[in-house]
Amino acid sequence: MSEAEPETGPRRRCLVTRESFDRETMLRFVVGPEADVVFDVGATLPGRGMWLSASGDVVELGVKRGVFSRAAKQQVKVPADLRAVVDDRLRGRLVDLLGLARRSGAAISGFEKAREWLVAGKAALLVQATDGSAEERARFVGGRDVPVVAALDAAALGQVFGRDRAVHVAVAGGRLAGMIEIEAARLAGVRTSGHTTPLVGR
């Protein structure tokens, strides 16, 4: 079986671990016109995709082992700081999605307002700051069965909502909530070790 498999079906195989996962949770790379490896953050660029698990360790191993050249069947140029490049692009995508949700009225920040959505059953996803108090974050959720993700710090979340800091963000149900959940999980995975699943808490 070739290193880069045909892009059919809902799952893809990681070039490093050889495990298969849902494509939305993985990282897609393509070879650019200058034979450089490009991270395709939205999985929309033309060309045969080369897939890695959403794990910082896996990205670094992929660079170290030269998996991209083997998969592309040619010598390719890989950024030495590929993990940082992936992190930056994923962070930007997550911020953009949260901003879109805010502007469309599908996301709200602040303890009291987000809590109102949660209690009323309007919140389909909670986004919490990575540097928020663990006790406060747990108290906010209150044991409710709502997906919780954490990938941005309070300053970054606050910037999206025009505040200095934001620890709690509630997102209404819909396509954006699902996309934010997946992107937060991919970013969290790149910043840690091992493949993560979309949910980091319930």
Tokens 């995508």 -> residue: 93
Cα–Cα distance for residue pair 3/13, rounded to 1 Å:
9
| Residue with more model confidence, 114 or 7 | 114
pLDDT (tens digit per residue) in 7-20 = 567 899 999 999 99
Q: Region 112-119: what's the mean pLDDT?
A: 94
Question: Is the predicted pLDDT of residue 196 greater than 80, yes or no?
Answer: no
Mean pLDDT of 81-106: 97
Task: Enumerate the CATH 3.30.1230.10 domain ranges in the chain, comma separated.
Answer: 11-80
Q: What is the pLDDT of residue 193?
A: 66
What is the fold of 86-190? 60s Ribosomal Protein L30; Chain: A; (3.30.1330)
Judging by beta carbons within 10 Å of its beta carbon (0-12, 13-18, 19+), is residue 20 exposed, middle or buried?
middle
Taking 50 as the threshold, does the pLDDT of residue 124 lie above it? yes
Hey, what long-range contacts does 117-123 have (CB within 8 A, 24 or more apart)? Answer: 117/170, 117/172, 118/142, 118/144, 118/146, 118/170, 122/170, 122/172, 122/173, 123/170, 123/171, 123/172
Domain 11-80 superfamily per CATH: YlxR-like (3.30.1230.10)
Mean predicted confidence (pLDDT) in 35-54: 95
Indicate where the chain has its CATH 3.30.1330.30 domain(s): 86-190
